Amino acid sequence: MITTANYILTAHVGGEKYRFEYAEASIMWEALEQFWHEDYPEVLIDKGGGLFPIDVIAMDDGKAIRKYEFMFNGVAFDHFFDKGWSESSTEPGQRYTLDQFAKDIERKPEDKPDVKQLTAMMDRWAGFCYNHPPYEEVILWMVGGSKQHYLYQHFCSKFSHLCDVCHDDTMGAWMKFYRYLDSQWAERLMQYVYCEWKKTSND
C-alpha cells in the first residue's frame, strides 16, 4: 500500500488491529498527540482497551525507516498531553517531562508491562465512576469539608451542568469533570478515588 504519511500508528485492541496515518506530524510525539486527541476518542475509546500495545512507524518516501514500540496507557497520555503533571510522581503537581513520559509508555520485547497494577488502577477509577457517592460529598471532601468554600458551590454547579450535558450519565460526567479540573484539583480528586473512596466502598 502506497502512503504519503510521515507516521503510521497501529494499535492492537481486543484482538483487532487499527491503523492510523499522520501526514502532518513532523515528529513522532506529534503523531502520538494527534492519536490521543483525535483518533483514540473517535475510534477506540469504547473498544474496552485502556491498555494496549501501539507501534509508531516513521515513513520516508513511502518506506518504513524506523519503528517505535509503546504500551498505550490512557492515564499517562492524559497527564502528559492534557494535564502536564505526572500522576506517578511523589511530588504533587510535578511537571511531566518528555523523558519520563517516554519511560512510562516504553514497551520492550523482553519486558512484560505491569498490567496487573495498571488494570487495578483503571478498575478502581471505573468502579468509582459507576458506584460513586453523591457528588456533593466528593466535592465537599475535595475542598476541605466546608460548604462555605467558594469552590464547593462552583464545582457542584459545574458537575450538575456536566450531568445535564451527559444526559444524567454520571460516569461520563466524572470523566468530563476530571478533565475540567486544573492539576491541583485533579490530583485532589484522584486522592479521594484512590485513598478515601476505598475506605467506604464495598467494591
Q: Which residues contact 16 (CB under 8 A, 6 or more apart)?
A: 47
Q: What is the mean pLDDT of residues 51-77?
A: 88
Which pLDDT score, from 0 to 100, does residue 93 have? 59
Which pLDDT score, from 0 to 100, does residue 75 have? 84
What single-letter amino acid sits at 76? A
Between residues 173 and 14, the one the model is more confident about? 173
Is the Cβ–Cβ distance between 113 and 71 less than 8 Å?
yes
Answer yes or no: is pLDDT of 197 > 90.
no
For 136-177, write each residue's pLDDT tens digit. 999 999 999 888 888 999 999 999 999 998 888 888 899 899
Separation CA 157–CA 144 (nearest Å): 17
Residue 106, beta-bridge partner list: 70
Answer yes or no: is pLDDT of 110 > 90.
no
Which pLDDT score, from 0 to 100, does residue 4 have? 63
Which pLDDT score, from 0 to 100, does residue 121 have? 80
Mean pLDDT of the chain: 84
Residue 201, beta-bridge partner list: none
Separation CA 159–CA 23 (nearest Å): 38
pTM (2 d.p.): 0.52
Q: Closest by alpha carbon to 54, among 89, 39, 142?
A: 39
What value, to the nearest 5°, has the Cα angle with vertex 17 and ends 175 and 31? Answer: 60
Separation CA 49–CA 16 (nearest Å): 11
Least confident of 88-92, 145-149, 186-190: 88-92
Least confident of 54-63, 96-105, 118-127, 132-141: 118-127
